[in-house]
């Protein structure tokens, strides 16, 4: 079966991913407005699909409530203190769940729906309302230098700060619970599983982005693929995986395809006779310390000057992961290029050291784009591999 609205959406997503990949390679930045055309086409196509399958208005509004929640979270994350606060955005985010969970089912059935969802809705309103109020009252912060920005991450982590940063996890949990409740009581029926799965997977992608395990553009790319194409447009060559949930297959394929890059880097290092501990041979390469600003990546070594000598050691895996999550102690070549005045000491040491090992910097959005194309055409690589080893069972 071919879902034509999803075919239209897939074309819009593919064009947007290719353009976003170009921007990420060129500037290492994908402006949020890049996703707007894809979202307009994809969300409209998904609404058409849901209407064709169920004509369930409550389900469609529930889908819009989920989408609006993520867009509003991004709005709060990027709202500049001192600029006008968009109260209509807040109103929309709070009204849509009420329409989907209570008002529309009450109108369609002629009776007030079960009250079990009311406490969850109250919690949703409380969380979003509280964080919105804090953002509304927040004062403009002083402009910080690149190094200071990284230190600001270690600000006092009291309850209010933790809640402001991680409240959306609770919002996601409430949306997931509400979705399964609406499915269970028959209001949304089986197609509602797509909204429940979307809430789970988009929540995971968002959290990974917040923890800096994904880049911001990478996380939003996966979230928006989920919103725009909840199911495969047609059966891929290797058959549709059991869940039939496209964005999960895109992520799996992207991770598998991304393994090709480290292998290629390892062999390039072997051919060029670059020497380092084995694990670093897969994920980095040396560059001229005097021209390090012309490269992309982050520095994989620590340096200490001892008189006229420069002592160096590679940053360990767990230490590197800690620095990535805290955004402290990690030197990015982008910062060296954009804020050289703040890194004069480091630049002098790198020049003195000769060659400096940096990570390879292939934007993950490239594997995501490749994973999207391969998932649409072939299907889920992991599912196909498991089927191969289990004899198709």
Q: Where are the alpha helices (DSSP H) in 301-343?
A: 317-326, 333-338
Task: Check if the beta carbon of residue 223 is closer than 8 Å to that of residue 210.
Answer: no
304's enclosing H/E stretch is strand 301-306
What pLDDT is stored for residue 158 in this prediction? 56
**Residues 171-198, buried b or exposed e (16+ Cβ, 10 A)?**
bbbbbbbbbbbbbeeebbeebbbbbbbb
| Sequence-separated (6 or more) residues with CB below 8 Å from residue 189 | 54, 56, 59, 183
> What are the pLDDT digits (tens) for 117-156?
999 999 999 999 989 988 888 766 555 454 454 454 444 4
pLDDT of residue 303: 84
Q: How far apart are CA 67 and CA 198, in angstroms?
A: 9
**Mean pLDDT to the nearest integer, 182-206:** 88
- pTM for this predicted structure: 0.79
How much is the pLDDT for 224? Answer: 94
**Contacting residues for 150 by C-beta, under 8 A, at least 6 apart:** 326, 327, 328, 329, 330
pLDDT at 156: 42
Residue 373, Cβ density class (10 Å: 0-12 exposed, 13-18 middle, ≥19 buried): middle
Report pLDDT for 391: 66
């Amino acid at each position: 079966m071919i879902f034509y609205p999803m075919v239209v959406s897939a074309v819009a997503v593919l064009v947007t991913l290719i353009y976003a990949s170009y921007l990420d390679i060129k500037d290492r930045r994908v402006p949020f407005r890049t996703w707007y055309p894809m979202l307009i086409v994809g969300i409209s196509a998904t609404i058409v699909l849901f209407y064709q399958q169920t004509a369930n208005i409550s389900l469609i509004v529930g889908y819009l409530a989920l989408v609006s929640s993520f867009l509003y979270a991004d709005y709060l994350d990027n709202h500049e203190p001192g600029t006008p606060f968009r109260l209509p955005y807040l109103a929309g985010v709070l009204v849509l769940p009420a329409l989907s969970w209570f008002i529309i089912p009450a109108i369609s059935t002629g009776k007030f729906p079960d009250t079990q969802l009311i406490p969850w809705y109250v919690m949703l309103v409380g969380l979003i309302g509280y964080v919105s109020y804090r953002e509304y009252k927040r004062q403009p912060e002083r402009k910080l230098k690149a190094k200071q920005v990284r230190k600001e991450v270690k600000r006092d982590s009291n309850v209010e700060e933790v809640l402001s940063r991680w409240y959306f996890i609770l919002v996601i949990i409430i949306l997931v619970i509400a979705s399964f409740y609406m499915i269970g009581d028959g209001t949304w029926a089986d197609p509602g599983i797509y909204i429940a799965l979307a809430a789970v997977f988009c929540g995971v992608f968002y959290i990974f982005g917040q923890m800096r395990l994904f880049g911001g553009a990478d996380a939003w790319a996966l979230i928006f693929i989920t919103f725009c194409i909840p199911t495969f447009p047609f059966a891929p060559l290797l058959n549709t995986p059991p869940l039939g949930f496209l964005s999960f297959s895109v992520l799996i394929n992207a991770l598998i395809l991304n393994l090709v890059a480290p292998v290629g880097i390892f062999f390039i290092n072997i051919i060029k006779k670059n020497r380092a501990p084995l694990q670093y041979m897969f994920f980095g390469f040396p560059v001229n310390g005097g021209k390090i600003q012309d490269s992309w990546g982050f520095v994989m070594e620590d340096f200490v000057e001892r008189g006229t000598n420069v002592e160096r050691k590679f940053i360990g895996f767990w230490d590197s992961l800690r620095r990535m999550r805290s955004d402290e102690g990690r030197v990015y070549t982008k910062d060296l290029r954009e804020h050289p005045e703040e890194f004069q000491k480091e630049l002098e040491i790198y020049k003195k050291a000769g060659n400096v090992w940096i990570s390879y910097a292939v934007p993950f959005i490239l594997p995501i784009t490749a994973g999207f194309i391969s998932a649409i055409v072939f299907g889920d690589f992991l599912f196909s591999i498991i089927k191969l080893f289990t004899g198709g069972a």
